[in-house]
Amino acid sequence: MEVRRRSAKVVTFGCQMNERDSETIMGILSSLGFEESSRVEDADIVIFVTCCVRENAENRAFGNLGEMKRLKEGNPNLVVGMCGCMAQRSDLREIVRARMPWVNLVFGTHNIHRLPELLERVFAGERVVEVWDEPDEVVEGLPAVRAYGHKAFVNITYGCDNFCTYCIVPYVRGRERSRRMEDVVAEVCDLAGSGCVEVTLLGQNVNSYGRGLPPLPSGSSPDFADLLHEVNLVDGIRRIRFTTSHPRDFSDKMIEAVASSEKVCEHFHLPLQAGSDRVLEMMHRGYTAERYLALLDRIREAVPGASITTDIMVGFPGETEEDFQATMDVVRQARFDAAFTFIYSPRPGTVAARMPDQIEDEVKHDRVYRLIDLVNSIASEVNDELCGSIVEVMVEGPSERDPSVLSGRTRTNKMIHWTSEKAHNPGDIVMLRVSQTRTWTLYGEEIEGRSGYRGALTCDGHEAAGEEMQGRTASSSGFATDGRCDCNDV
Ligand code: SAH
Ligand code: SF4
Ligand code: F3S
């Protein structure tokens, strides 16, 4: 007789931190004998990994948790769990405790490793709520079921010490802790050993990596630049990404580390948040618009062809039309490749939520629409300039909309679609000539040509002429780092 294995579904909201936590949660569940279910309806245990960065993220999670009532009625043995950032907030936990009796497990961001024990209690009939206010030491060696084989997130720091005045993250993710460099590198080596070719180093502020770690033999604590150099040495890894960068802490040494580490992709996600110095100060961001723009200049000079993306918020308390225009001005000057735009959402317990002059919804919406129009028109112009260029692309797989079309990402993190006669697997690297551009996506044609890493490209024209470009650097070969070749017309 076939015994059905118990199955579990982890539903993730929020940022990459949660995506990575969900892999650990599924890893633990798998080690307990659960197999991954593709649908909530088929699972014996469903865990929601929640986000509370804005009110609408909370509402979405509550909506999903609410729907579980019906499933639980049909299957009283179903275990419904809630964890993640919302679980860290006592007010939100209380809502679940009092109004959602069908949720029988609540745990937080600091005690994921306790899941086996907590589940045992749930299976014994207890309703379990265990959330730690403070993190313990960094826990290493937890199992993970990775979402992809060819690419992976790797935590480098946990938590955040910045306390930007609008932001809930430091309250729900705790103080900043860096993982030891050898632990990060060991994880990257393991991933490479199992076929992973792209890693994304994760932290709320990757640029403050290393604070508090024991000093290196040189006497100083390791920093983000040191880490990039180390990860760059891992055999088998072909691309290194990192997020999120903090404009205040992005040092010239770090820019240099990106520029000189050939596997590190030339994409910088540098949240601007606002362009008005007055608002930036109220946000506690630690830079001015001028300093931010100067940083972009330094990055673009050191890493030609770099793409720069950002997060921008409108409607921070006290933001005037003039302040908003300052944001629009910085956007015009910065010429972002893409921007995530947000409407400020007051978060209980944060400093900004108590500030006077909260902005009306109507004004916030009007500003965000104007901002989106500007961001889109610039992004579309920036992409237009890529038409005809040659880009190195990592295959992601068939496009979601049309399985006969392939999707991939350039080193600059732009999505590109193309059709190919060849069979490609996720993680393969191919060379494409950009044939059409849209605001958020590129379209290309596959070309013969070998990729190396940055600046070590062989375009079809050069290859036809028998010219070997491998190993030359971007600046010495006349190749821009996005693969644009000076001899595009050959
Ligand atoms: N650590 C990263 C990401 C934080 S959350 C950073 O420093 O940028 C991602 C984005 O959400 C932020 O960049 C910010 O633009 C936005 N955000 C954070 N709190 C918000 C709030 N209360 N209302 C609206 N947007 C918010
Ligand atoms: Fe939030 Fe600021 Fe920390 Fe980013 S750096 S997580 S915006 S407090
Ligand atoms: Fe949300 Fe928590 Fe990330 S609040 S944005 S899931 S750190």
Q: Which fold has domain 151-382?
A: pyruvate-formate lyase- activating enzyme (3.80.30)
CA distance linking residue 177 with residue 208, whole number of Å: 10
* CB neighbourhood size of 76 (10 A): 7
- Cα of 205 vs centre of ligand 2, distance in Å, is 7
Which pLDDT value is given to residue 450? 61
CA distance linking residue 139 with residue 148, whole number of Å: 23
Please report which confidence band the pLDDT of residue 2 belongs to, taking 50, 70 and 90 as the band edges: low
> Residues with Cβ < 8 Å from 427, sequence gap 6 or more?
149, 150, 151, 195, 196, 197, 198, 394, 395
Which pLDDT value is given to residue 218? 83
In the three-class reduction of DSSP (H, G, I as helix; E, B as strand; rest coil), residue 213 is classed as coil
- Residue 144 is classified by DSSP as -
CA distance linking residue 109 with residue 88, whole number of Å: 7
CA distance linking residue 85 with residue 279, whole number of Å: 26
> Residues with Cβ < 8 Å from 239, sequence gap 6 or more?
151, 197, 198, 199, 263, 265, 394, 411
Percent of the chain whose pLDDT exceeds 90? 86
Which pLDDT value is given to residue 380? 97
Mutate which of 52, 168, 313, 361 for ligand 1? The one with the most ligand atoms within 8 Å of its CB, which is 313
Q: Nearest CA to 78 among 46, 101, 107?
A: 46
What average pLDDT does this structure show over 177-189?
Answer: 97
- Residue 346 is classified by DSSP as -
- Cα of 330 vs centre of ligand 1, distance in Å, is 18
What average pLDDT does this structure show over 24-32?
Answer: 98
Task: Give the number of whichever ligand sits closest to the CA of residue 312.
Answer: 1
What average pLDDT does this structure show over 180-193?
Answer: 97
Task: Give the pair of three-digit tokens for residue 243.
Answer: 């997020």
CA distance linking residue 178 with residue 446, whole number of Å: 41
- Cα of 85 vs centre of ligand 3, distance in Å, is 6
Which pLDDT value is given to residue 489? 25
Q: Give per-residue pLDDT as tens, 396-415.
A: 999 988 989 999 999 999 99
Which pLDDT value is given to residue 136? 87
- Cα of 248 vs centre of ligand 3, distance in Å, is 21
Whether residue 483 is predicted with pLDDT greater than 50 in this model: the reply is: no
Ligand 1 atom at minimal distance to the Cα of residue 343:
24
Is pTM beyond 0.85? Reply is yes
Task: Give the number of whichever ligand sits closest to the CA of residue 14.
Answer: 3
Whether residue 328 is predicted with pLDDT greater than 60 in this model: the reply is: yes
Whether residue 458 is predicted with pLDDT greater than 60 in this model: the reply is: no
Task: Give the pair of three-digit tokens for residue 282.
Answer: 């109220």
Q: Give per-residue pLDDT as tens, 346-380.
A: 999 999 999 999 999 999 999 999 999 999 999 99
Average pLDDT, the chain: 91
**Class assignment of domain 7-130?**
alpha beta
Q: Give per-residue pLDDT as tens, 51-70.
A: 999 999 999 999 999 999 99
What average pLDDT does this structure show over 291-319?
Answer: 98
- Cα of 168 vs centre of ligand 2, distance in Å, is 8
- Cα of 356 vs centre of ligand 2, distance in Å, is 21
Whether residue 453 is predicted with pLDDT greater than 90 in this model: the reply is: no
Mutate which of 15, 20, 292, 342 for ligand 1? The one with the most ligand atoms within 8 Å of its CB, which is 342
Task: Give the pair of three-digit tokens for residue 289.
Answer: 């618009």
Please report which confidence band the pLDDT of residue 3 belongs to, taking 50, 70 and 90 as the band edges: low
Which pLDDT value is given to residue 469? 28
Q: What angle do CA 20, 24, 30 make, to 5 degrees?
A: 140
CATH of region 390-476: 2.40.50.140
Whether residue 482 is predicted with pLDDT greater than 60 in this model: the reply is: no
- The residue whose two tokens read 């938590």 is 159
Whether residue 105 is predicted with pLDDT greater than 70 in this model: the reply is: yes
Whether a cis peptide bond, with omega within 30° of 0, leads into 244 is yes
Which pLDDT value is given to residue 220? 86
- Contact between 173 and 220 under an 8 Å Cβ cutoff? The reply is no
- Contact between 22 and 10 under an 8 Å Cβ cutoff? The reply is yes
Which amino acid residue places its CA nearest to atom 2 of ligand 2? 164
- Contact between 50 and 59 under an 8 Å Cβ cutoff? The reply is no
Is the C-beta atom of 347 inside 6 A of ligand 1? Answer: yes
Q: Give per-residue pLDDT as tens, 143-181.
A: 999 999 999 999 999 999 999 999 999 999 999 999 999
Residue 64 Cα distances to 54, 91, 370, angstroms: 16, 18, 32
Ligand 1 atom at minimal distance to the Cα of residue 205:
1
- Cα of 167 vs centre of ligand 1, distance in Å, is 6
Mutate which of 109, 155, 202, 204 for ligand 2? The one with the most ligand atoms within 8 Å of its CB, which is 204
Task: Provide DSSP, 282-308.
Answer: HHT----HHHHHHHHHHHHHHSTT-EE
Q: Give per-residue pLDDT as tens, 254-285.
A: 999 999 999 999 999 999 999 999 999 999 99
Which pLDDT value is given to residue 472? 24
Which pLDDT value is given to residue 456? 35
First and final C-alpha spacing in the chain: 66
Task: Give the pair of three-digit tokens for residue 296.
Answer: 């972009």
Which pLDDT value is given to residue 451? 58
Q: How far is CA 66 from the centre of its chain?
A: 28
Q: Nearest CA to 308 among 378, 374, 408, 406?
A: 378
Burial readout 342-379 (b: 16 or more C-beta within 10 A, e: otherwise): bbbbbbeebbbbeeeebbeeeebeebbeebeebbeebb
Which amino acid residue places its CA nearest to atom 1 of ligand 3? 51
Is the C-beta atom of 208 inside 6 A of ligand 2? Answer: no
Q: Residue 307 pairs with which residues in a beta bridge?
A: 267
CA distance linking residue 246 with residue 208, whole number of Å: 8
Domain ranges of the chain: 7-130, 151-382, 390-476
Is the C-beta atom of 243 inside 6 A of ligand 1? Answer: no
CA distance linking residue 401 with residue 256, whole number of Å: 39
CA distance linking residue 12 with residue 21, whole number of Å: 9
What average pLDDT does this structure show over 28-48?
Answer: 96
Whether residue 473 is predicted with pLDDT greater than 90 in this model: the reply is: no
- Contact between 181 and 230 under an 8 Å Cβ cutoff? The reply is yes
Cα torsion angle, 210, 163, 259, 179, sign: positive
Is the C-beta atom of 263 inside 6 A of ligand 2? Answer: no
* CB neighbourhood size of 113 (10 A): 15
CA distance linking residue 104 with residue 79, whole number of Å: 6
- Cα of 206 vs centre of ligand 2, distance in Å, is 11
Which pLDDT value is given to residue 459? 36
